[in-house]
Amino acid sequence: MSDGDFLSQGDIDALMQNLNGPGEAAEAPVAGIGGAPEATPAAGPETLRPAVEMILRQAATVVTTVLNKNADFALAEVAPATAANVFGSGGGFKSRALSLRVGFSAGLSGALYYTLSEKDTAILADLMMMGDGSAAYTEDHQEALAELTNQIMGASSTAMGTEYGTSISCEQAQAVDYGEGNLPFAPEGCFVARVTLKIEDFPDSEILLVIDPPLAETLAAFYTHAEAKSAAAAVSGAGAPLTSSDTSLMASQPAGKGMR
């Protein structure tokens, strides 16, 4: 080919083959998801925090709507469960506490425990029933909190299902005893999310979300899968195939000119 010749279509095809490779590599399966070999991803605060934050965003929306008051759930930390932190930062859940257990029936395994004081239970339940939040706690408030938790987890299941690309559903929330010497789970392998509950016109308070080991493992698997897909997309984007506009520009340049 002389210096003044234009690139032929064959030259362009050969160049594209060299640049793009013989074909796109198939996405590598992620352990534990989509038929890949089973493995247990490491559950930890960094792998669980995104899911917890997703749940708390849904909780804020639901509670704000139900109470007709601004509400926020601010995540303070996610940490492995210990004999101390399962009772809150100041040990306030050693007595006079309520926990709502939510198990998952599809998409995720394990259970999540919403734990709050009887005082906060009474405030939320009373506001739900159009009161002013000053009612004293009674066991009847458990049913109201269970219904509120069902609404939160219904919204959260939809959000997580969209994020993870799978159908997620959960069981009805059940009130369970919670206190020193009477935990509904063994702390080993669990994770505790410490959350600041903010409700308009009321003092801030603390609630806990306790994630049991099976749920922690499945959430970690989804997190690992999402991170792997994101990394693969970044690599794929860096070596994106030439477009038709690229080849048109190449064809308009004489060989040996305009391409350095």
For residue 227, what pLDDT is reported?
Answer: 82
For residue 13, what pLDDT is reported?
Answer: 55
For the cut 50, the answer to whether the pLDDT of residue 50 exceeds it is: yes
In a domain, 222, yes or no: yes
pLDDT range class, residue 20, cuts 50, 70, 90 = very low
Task: Give burial (CB, 10 Å; 0-12/13-18/19+) of 11.
Answer: middle
Q: What is the mean pLDDT of residues 226-247?
A: 64
Looking at residue 180, the DSSP 8-state letter turns out to be: T
In a domain, 240, yes or no: no
pLDDT in tens, 148-161: 999 999 999 999 99
Whether residue 123 contacts residue 137, with contact meaning beta carbons closer than 8 Å, is answered with no
In a domain, 183, yes or no: yes
Q: Which of 77, 105, 99 is nearest to 89 (CA)?
A: 77
More confident residue, 22 or 145: 145
- The label of the residue with tokens 């970690």 reads 220
Count structural domains, the chain.
Answer: 1
CATH of residue 80's domain is 3.40.1550.10
For the cut 60, the answer to whether the pLDDT of residue 4 exceeds it is: no
pLDDT range class, residue 124, cuts 50, 70, 90 = very high
CA distance 224 to 43: 10
In a domain, 251, yes or no: no
In a domain, 3, yes or no: no
CA distance 89 to 194: 8
pLDDT range class, residue 10, cuts 50, 70, 90 = low
Whether residue 116 contacts residue 97, with contact meaning beta carbons closer than 8 Å, is answered with yes
pLDDT range class, residue 237, cuts 50, 70, 90 = low
In a domain, 258, yes or no: no
Q: Which amino acid is at 213?
A: P
pLDDT in tens, 184-199: 999 999 999 999 999 9
DSSP H helices, the chain, are: 9-20, 45-67, 118-128, 141-164, 213-238, 244-251
Mean pLDDT in the chain? Answer: 83
3-state secondary structure of 71: strand
Rg of the chain on CA atoms, in Å = 27
In a domain, 54, yes or no: yes
Q: What is the pTM of this model?
A: 0.75
Q: Which of 203, 62, 199, 69 is nearest to 130 (CA)?
A: 69
In a domain, 12, yes or no: no
204: containing domain = 45-227
Q: What is the largest CA-CA distance in the chain?
A: 94
